[in-house]
Amino acid sequence: MSKLKAVIVGAGRMAGTIDDECVDYPAMILPFSHAAGYTAVDDVDLVAFADLDETKAQALASRWGAPRAYGDYRQMIETEKPDIVSIATPCTAHAEIVIFAAEHGARGIYCEKGLACSLAEADAMRETVHRTGVKFNMGTLRRWHPGMIKARELVAAGEIGQLRSVITYGSSSMLHSNSHYIDGLLYLSGDPEVDWVQGTVLNADFDPAADRCDTDLSGIGTVMLSGGVYGYLLNTGLVAEFEITGSEGAIRARNNLLHWDLRKLEPTGHRSIAEFNVRQFPYYERISPTVNLIRDLAHAIETDGETRGGIEIAHRNTEIAFAVIESHRRDGARVTPPLDNRNFWMDSR
Ligand SMILES: NC(=O)c1ccc[n+]([C@@H]2O[C@H](COP(=O)([O-])OP(=O)(O)OC[C@H]3O[C@@H](n4cnc5c(N)ncnc54)[C@H](O)[C@@H]3O)[C@@H](O)[C@H]2O)c1
């Protein structure tokens, strides 16, 4: 089978240099950047970069051995006719590039998070992805982290009984950071629909009447998932931790998924009191989430199957983010997606 051709739009950190920031960080399973990921996957060839600043595209092309560099992503896509388009630009450009790539023959898109700066943009991306049939994954990488995959398997197998809640620790900017935590709580719960969202914006200067915002707002919230699981987006000072609690046990991911505990609810022998005792979390192989995401996308292209992520889940993620803000606007009322207000636009870089 011939190799899939990949190109990358945006030639900054996530495109090709972020691994340099993480070499001494044990929580990070490298490779991390898009370019490092493609280089590690056998059935994909990375052929070009594009950036508004063509010198950045040239620098990454030469670092990663891609033969060509462009100053205009449209020209790159029209010339290269890639199978996969990776989008590692700021969120402000995601919608335009996803739509262009899908409408110009891409078979797979790996788009960085947050998905979009407004629900209207997210709607247009979803419509285009469905209409063109392009396979899609958003770069909320914890979905492809082997520890998270193992945790979801344990939950699905009933190891902690009936799932009751997923707490995410690390909440801050809704699109840039919280997209990771929202995706984690959806993934660990089996990607259900959302019944309602209740939230609070933490930015003191947020003007609830504005229809644009030049800051990616920070928020905390409760997400009631269909099926009765509570998701909590917390802001406690802990970074990238998850607590998954069921009727018979719990799973705790600490220190950005480096450490994992499985806990079982067991009787103490004292009246009806039970306690959560720590057990060994099962072994998992430390395979890079970026590599897993790319393999998942390539597999979906080659088999005409579904990706592990997909546009529906990325869209639901964005709906939750904006619902936190809408709930704040309505003094903490429960908000049921889809929201009426599709046009509120928020910057995110
Ligand atoms: N998944 C993760 O863990 C993770 C980590 C870091 C960043 N990100 C995401 O990656 C994206 C990029 O972040 P970064 O830190 O690499 O930013 P960056 O500023 O380092 O790089 C972005 C690049 O995109 C280019 N660009 C902007 N608009 C463009 C356009 N229309 N066409 C072509 N190039 C364009 C810029 O010139 C810049 O070189 C963001 O969406 C961010 O949220 C994800």
Q: Name which residue sits closest to atom 5 of ligand 1, judged by CA.
A: 14
Beta-sheet pairing, 219-225 with 241-246: unpaired
Side-chain-side CA neighbours of 349 within 13 Å: the count stands at 5
User: Is the distance from the beta carbon of residue 113 to the nearest atom of ligand 1 less than 6 Å?
Assistant: yes
- Ligand 1, from 20, 51, 174: best to mutate by most atoms within 8 Å of Cβ? 51
- Ligand 1, from 7, 8, 13: best to mutate by most atoms within 8 Å of Cβ? 13
Residue 311 · residue 136 · CB < 8 Å: yes
User: Is the distance from the beta carbon of residue 346 to the nearest atom of ligand 1 less than 6 Å?
Assistant: no
CATH 3.40.50.720 range(s) for the chain read 4-140+290-310
The pTM score is 0.97
Helix (H), strand (E), coil (C) string for 93-147: HHHHHHHHHHHCCCCEEEECCCCCCCHHHHHHHHHHHHHHCCEEEECCHHHHCHH
Atom number, ligand 1, closest to the C-alpha of residue 50: 33
User: Is the distance from the beta carbon of residue 56 to the nearest atom of ligand 1 less than 6 Å?
Assistant: yes
The conformation of residue 267, written as its DSSP 8-state character, comes to: E
Determine the pLDDT at residue 103.
98
Determine the pLDDT at residue 40.
98
β partners of residue 136: 109
Distance 208 CA to ligand 1 centre (A): 28
Atom number, ligand 1, closest to the C-alpha of residue 139: 1
Side-chain-side CA neighbours of 5 within 13 Å: the count stands at 15
Q: Name which residue sits closest to atom 8 of ligand 1, judged by CA.
A: 14
CATH 3.30.360.10 range(s) for the chain read 143-286+315-346
Instruction: Assign a CATH topology to domain 4-140+290-310.
Output: Rossmann fold (3.40.50)
- Cβ contacts of 223 within 8 Å, gap of 6 or more: 182, 185, 194, 197, 230, 231, 232, 233, 320
- Cβ contacts of 2 within 8 Å, gap of 6 or more: none
User: Is the distance from the beta carbon of residue 50 to the nearest atom of ligand 1 less than 6 Å?
Assistant: yes
CATH architecture of 143-286+315-346: 2-Layer Sandwich (3.30)
pLDDT tens-place values along the chain, 349 residues long? 689 999 999 999 999 999 999 999 999 999 999 999 999 999 999 999 999 999 999 999 999 999 999 999 999 999 999 999 999 999 999 999 999 999 999 999 999 999 999 999 999 999 999 999 999 999 999 999 999 999 999 999 999 999 999 999 987 899 999 999 999 999 999 999 999 999 999 999 999 999 999 999 999 999 999 999 999 999 999 999 999 999 999 999 999 999 999 999 999 989 989 999 999 999 999 999 999 999 999 999 999 999 999 999 999 999 999 999 999 999 999 999 999 999 999 999 8
The whole-angstrom separation of Cα 294 and Cα 22 is 20
Helices 94-103 and 73-80: crossing angle in degrees, nearest 10, is 20
Structure tokens at 4: 């899939």
- Tell me how crowded residue 212 is: count the other CB atoms within 10 A of its CB: 12
Q: Could you give phi then psi for residue 211, rounded to 5 degrees?
A: -105, 5
The terminus-to-terminus CA distance of the chain in angstroms comes to 38
- Ligand 1, from 8, 14, 32, 182: best to mutate by most atoms within 8 Å of Cβ? 14
User: Is the distance from the beta carbon of residue 89 to the nearest atom of ligand 1 less than 6 Å?
Assistant: yes
Determine the pLDDT at residue 172.
84
Side-chain-side CA neighbours of 275 within 13 Å: the count stands at 7
CA-based nearest residue to 240, from 138, 141, 115, 117: 141
Atom number, ligand 1, closest to the C-alpha of residue 93: 31
The whole-angstrom separation of Cα 48 and Cα 85 is 10
